[in-house]
Amino acid sequence: MESFEYVVVLTSLILGLAMAQILNGVSDMVAHYSKIKFSFAHTILIVIIFFVTIQDWFYSYQYSKQIEEWTMPTVLSILSFPILLFIEARILFPTGTRSKEVDMDVYFYDNWKWLYTLFTMTIIVSILQNIFFSGFTIIEQVPLMLYAGVYLLFIFGDFKNKLYHDIFMVAQLFVWLSFFILEKSTL
């Protein structure tokens, strides 16, 4: 077994757990459709996290060609992105004392700062991985830096207006959909 194959098993496992969290959460919401008050921004964020999880799984194969020596710091760096995605996927849905939550708007607006902070962390990790493992330049990372900046603007600006969150999520959804439609990379 090659080093990459050994590492990708753990990466895939964590991403699979994140995907299971998303699919279980959506299934629970659909199963209780008549009792749930859906949130527009929350629903779109679920779709975005789903897309990001697939994207990370797809791109992790590139590391088989880009990383020659797999050290513990390298492995931990690569695992940080799926771990953050798993945590975010877990927080996307009410659990514990809030497991009976029926108003997803209330849940989302109680937790949006945590969700946005975790997503910002995934963007920062992505930038670092792109630079240190994939050979991208800092200049090529400016779009991702701007993306993280918008998240930070929401977090530190403490935007509570639902319309702002809805517009932000729709804009992101279009970015992610266009990314998937226009992406030409292969395995």
Query: Which pLDDT value is given to residue 171?
Result: 96
Q: Which residue has the tokens 């679920």?
A: 46
Inter-residue contact 81 to 56 (CB < 8 Å)? yes
Q: What is the pLDDT of residues 88-126, one digit of tens each?
A: 999 999 987 787 878 999 999 999 999 999 999 999 999
Mean confidence (pLDDT) of the chain: 93
pLDDT in tens, 153-183: 999 999 999 999 999 999 999 999 988 888 7
Least confident of 10-14, 37-41, 96-100, 175-179: 96-100
Instruction: Decide: 42 and 104 in contact? Cβ < 8 Å.
Output: yes
| Backbone φ, ψ for residue 143 (5° rounding) | -60, -40
pLDDT digits (tens, 9 = 90+) for 43-68: 999 999 999 999 999 989 889 889 98
Within 3-136, residue ranges assigned H as helices are: 3-31, 40-60, 63-66, 72-91, 104-132
DSSP per position, 132-183: HTS---TGGGHHHHHHHHHHHHHHHHT---HHHHHHHHHHHHHHHHHHHHH-
**How would residue 6 be classed by pLDDT, with cut points 50, 70 and 90?**
confident
The residue ranges of every structural domain in the chain are 3-182
Cα–Cα dist 155/150, whole Å: 9
Long-range contacts of 144-150 (CB under 8 A, 24+ apart): 147/123, 148/120, 148/123, 148/124
The DSSP annotation for 163-175 comes to HHHHHHHHHHHHH
Q: Over range 25-44, report the average pLDDT.
A: 93
Distance CA 182, CA 187 (A): 15
- pTM, 2 dp: 0.92
